[in-house]
Structure 1
Amino acid sequence: MLTGLAWLALEAKYLEPAREFYEERLGLTVRERGADELAFEAGETDLLLRRPDGFPRGGLHTHYAFSIPESEYDDWWERLGREYELEEAQFGPARSLYLYDPDGNCVELGQQDVAGPGIDGIFEVVLEVEDLDRARAFYEDLGFETVDEGDSRKRIRLHGPMALELWEPHLGIADARGGVHVDLGFETADPGAALEAVRDRVQSVVRESDEEIVVRDPDGHFLTFTERPR
Structure 2
Amino acid sequence: MLTGLSWLALEVKYLEHARSFYEETLEMDCTAEREDELVFAAGETDLVCRRPDGVPRGGLHTHYAFSIPDDEYDDWWDRLSGRGYDLEEAQFGPAKSLYLYDPDGNCVELGQQGGEGPGIDGVFEVVLEVEDLDRAEAFYTQLGFETADVGDDRKRIRMNGPMALELWEPHLGIADARGGVHVDLGFETSEPTAALEAVSDDVRQVDHVSDERVVVRDPDGHVVTFAHR
**TM-score by structure 1 length?**
0.99
Match in the other structure for 2:184: 183
Distance in 1, Cα, partners of 2:114 & 2:120: 12
- Superposed displacement of residue 86, structure 1: 0.1
1:20-72 CA-to-partner distances (Å, cap 9, x unmatched) read 00000000000000110000000000000000000000000000000000000
Distance in 1, Cα, partners of 2:119 & 2:212: 32
| 2:200 alignment partner, SS class | helix
- Which aligned pairs between 1:1-230 and structure 2 lie closer than 5 A? 1-82=1-82, 83-228=84-229
Identity across aligned pairs (percent)? Answer: 76
Following TM superposition, the consecutive aligned residue runs of length 4 or more in structure 1 with deviations greater than 3 angstroms are none
1:78-109 CA-to-partner distances (Å, cap 9, x unmatched) read 00011200000000000000000000000000
| 1:201 alignment partner, SS class | coil
1:145-185 CA-to-partner distances (Å, cap 9, x unmatched) read 00000000000000000000000000000000000000000
Runs of at least 5 residues in structure 2 that lack an aligned partner in the other structure? none
- Superposed displacement of residue 113, structure 1: 1.8
Distance in 2, Cα, partners of 1:104 & 1:217: 23
Runs of at least 5 residues in structure 1 that lack an aligned partner in the other structure? none
- Superposed displacement of residue 202, structure 1: 0.4
| 2:120 alignment partner, SS class | coil
Distance in 2, Cα, partners of 1:148 & 1:203: 26
Aligned residues between the structures: 228
Distance in 2, Cα, partners of 1:132 & 1:50: 28
Distance in 2, Cα, partners of 1:149 & 1:136: 11
**TM-score by structure 2 length?**
0.99
Q: Considering only aligned residues, what root-mean-square deviation do their CA atoms show, in Å?
A: 0.4
Distance in 2, Cα, partners of 1:211 & 1:18: 30
